[in-house]
Amino acid sequence: SAVISQKPSRDICQRGTSLTIQCQVDSQVTMMFWYRQQPGQSLTLIATANQGSEATYESGFVIDKFPISRPNLTFSTLTVSNMSPEDSSIYLCSVLGLAGGHEQFFGPGTRLTVL
Amino acid sequence: GIQVEQSPPDLILQEGANSTLRCNFSDSVNNLQWFHQNPWGQLINLFYIPSGTKQNGRLSATTVATERYSLLYISSSQTTDSGVYFCAAPRGGYGNKLVFGAGTILRVKS
C-alpha cells in the first residue's frame, strides 16, 4: 500500500513565526487535502490542494493564514503563518485516488505547539 | 451541510467485551468512512462503507443508507482497540470533502 509521510512530525514554535508542513505520497493521487484537529476535537477540513493552481479554502480559512502549494501529483505543503497559541493543533494531509479508489487516506500528522 | 453525529461519546470496556458504535448522518451519502485514531494520533482507515456490510477480523460495519446510519461492531475487544473512532461523510452527501463526527472515545481495560 502507498506511504504518506509528513514533515515535521512535531514542532514547538514561537508566536508570530511561520511553519511549513510537507506531505509526500509515494504514488500519484488525484486529490490532496489538509485538515486541522484542535486539541480534544474532531477533524476540520482546511482546504483542497489543487495541482498547479490556488487551493480551495473552506469557510473560516484564508490563504494569507494557510498558504498551500501543490506542485505535482505527489507533494503538497501547508504553511501556518503568523502563528498564535490558538494554532496549536495536529495538521493532517489526506489523499484520494490511491489505486483508483474512493477512500481518503491520511498522513501521520504534524503536532504543532505554539508558545 | 451534512450533520454527522456519533454515539456514545465515550465508552469503557473490559477486555474481551463487544461493543457497537453508531454514526447518524443527516443527508443521503455516496461515501462513508470509519477511522480509528490511535493514542499517537495516527488516523487508520477501518472501512469505506457507503452501504451494506463489511467485515475485517474482529471488526465489522454496516451502513443502512436509506435510514442514514452506520454501525461499527467491535468484538472481543483488546487494549490495542483503545483510541478514538470517527465516522466521516462528504459535505452535502456527495463528493470528497469529508465532515467528521465528534468521535467515540474507547478505553479497553485489561
Domain tally, chain B: 1
Please tell me whether the peptide bond between A8 and the residue prior to it is cis, using omega within 30 degrees of 0. Answer: yes
Domain of A73, CATH number, reads 2.60.40.10
Could you list the residue range(s) of the whole structural domain that residue A74 is in? 4-114
Per-residue pLDDT at B84:
98
Minimum Cα–Cα distance from B49: chain A residue: A103
Which positions in chain B touch A105 (Cβ < 8 Å)? 45
* Cβ within 8 Å, pair A42-B86: yes
Query: CA A33, B35, B84, B76: dihedral to nearest 10 degrees?
Result: -170
Chain B residues 18-47 with CB within 8 Å of chain A: 31, 33, 35, 41-43, 45
H/E element, B41: none
State the pLDDT at residue A60. 96
CA distance linking residue B63 with residue B58, whole number of Å: 17
Q: What is the CA radius of gyration of chain B?
A: 13
Split at pLDDT 50, 70, 90, the class of A1 is low
For residue range A46-98, what is the model confidence (pLDDT) as tens digits? 999 999 889 999 999 999 999 999 999 999 999 999 999 999 999 999 999 87
Q: What is the pLDDT of residue B94?
A: 79
Residue B81's domain comprises 4-109
Q: What is the domain-level CATH number for residue B28?
A: 2.60.40.10
Q: How many structural domains does chain A have?
A: 1
